[in-house]
Amino acid sequence: MRNDKDKISQFQLMKNIQLVLLIAFFGLASADIIINKSKRCECSSFIKSECDKWYDCKWNESSCLEKECSDYATEDKCTGDCQWKGGKCIDVKKECENMPTEESCSNMAGCGWKDNKCIEFTQCSDFIVTKAERCSVLQGENGERCQAKGVSVTTLFYKHLAVAAGFQCENKVYVDCSKFVTEATCKGVATATAKCQWKSDGKCYAFELKTCRDADGFNQMCDPKYCKKDGQICVNKACSDITIQAQCMSLPKIDSSKSTLCKWGADNKCAIATDATHLNEQTCNDVTFGSYHWVTDTCQQCSSNWILSIMSLIILVALI
């Protein structure tokens, strides 16, 4: 008798799990489309008109291929595992010692210019640079940041100072915003991602916009690119806030690598898109920042993690 009850309980549990998985599956199928700019399709996924739009792709008779280092004719395009040397782009892994100029060295993460050569980053005080802003790009593996010694945070960003002897770099100095007691003095960089801002409660805080509601109480911090004012609070913008058809394409998120896909409806209103069927061969790749491509007369997302997740979900449901 007990075994029968156990079997019934196990069967009911499996059915409940199956129901939850099915709900999750259909939820994925009908969810809003979030475009991830950092997950662009591979070159091989593009048709010719799409292939021609991307600097790292090339069309080879009947297919789109990823460019090789030798395909880049200018230094600014010679990036990644390619290196500009002797007036051409070659396939060599970039190392600090291979950077021939202070400028190229400054653009290489984990490197710094010292004694007329490029070396691996050691500590901020070891480096003297010709431009103050080059101190600010120096960064150690532990996230240590630098700044030009004797140059205030405000002047560093608003004007260029030229000193023949160069700028001595030092560890980045952050300020304690809570020490400022007036709006006029509430200035400076609090962390690598936050700045001091005055709040309506009469205090100075380290402010970073991660969500629109973070801007509540901070004058001018409700960024109109992502947010809008709703009375005294700052809320997310929606596709429905777009009133011009030509602008009803996508809505950027505070996380700059993502945006929400929008669609102009038959009611002449902009709304959130749940698929990309409204995009055509010309707009498919552009509006989605290359994360979708044109295939079999439809705009489709390239094979990626979400497809694998759905397949895994289907298999799991089938096994229950």
pLDDT digits (tens, 9 = 90+) for 223-282: 999 999 999 899 999 999 999 999 999 999 998 889 999 999 999 999 999 999 999 999
DSSP for 120-152?
Answer: E---GGG-EESSTHHHHT-B-TT--BEEETT--
Quote the mean pLDDT of the chain: 82
Q: Is the pLDDT of residue 218 over 60?
A: yes
- CA 225 to CA 252: how far, in whole Å? 7
For residue 306 the two structure tokens come to 């979400």
pLDDT digits (tens, 9 = 90+) for 114-159: 888 999 888 888 998 888 888 888 876 666 788 888 755 445 444 4
Provide the greatest CA pair distance for the chain. Answer: 92
C-alpha dihedral over 76, 81, 86, 88, to 10 degrees? -60
pLDDT digits (tens, 9 = 90+) for 6-43: 555 554 545 544 443 433 344 444 467 999 998 999 99
Q: What is the CA radius of gyration of the chain?
A: 26
| pTM of the model as a whole | 0.69
